[in-house]
Amino acid sequence: MNDGNQNLDRRSLVAPMVGLNATKQVLRYQASLFRLWADNCELMARNYEKGLEAFSSATEQRRDAA
């Protein structure tokens, strides 16, 4: 009967560890997606700034030519 209690104790210790390991993997995945999203936002902002600079320089050239 003591063996049954030990098996039950082991199972009760293993279950939370399995759950925490699964949660850890999900959090890692979410963090990697968040990093990817942030990198894309930065790239979009850089491209926007480059386009804005090109537009402002073109308007300045038109003003100078007129």
pLDDT digit string, tens, across residues 40-58 = 999 999 999 999 888 888 8
Instruction: State the Cα–Cα distance between residues 60 and 65, nearest whole angstrom.
Output: 9
Instruction: State the Cα–Cα distance between residues 50 and 19, nearest whole angstrom.
Output: 47
pLDDT at position 51: 92
Number of Cβ atoms within 10 Å of the Cβ of 62: 9
pLDDT at position 14: 81
Alpha carbon distances (Å) from 47 to 23, 52, 54, 56, 63: 36, 9, 11, 14, 24
Task: Check residue 35 and report its DSSP letter.
Answer: H
Residues of the chain with pLDDT under 50: 1
pLDDT at position 49: 94
pLDDT at position 1: 47
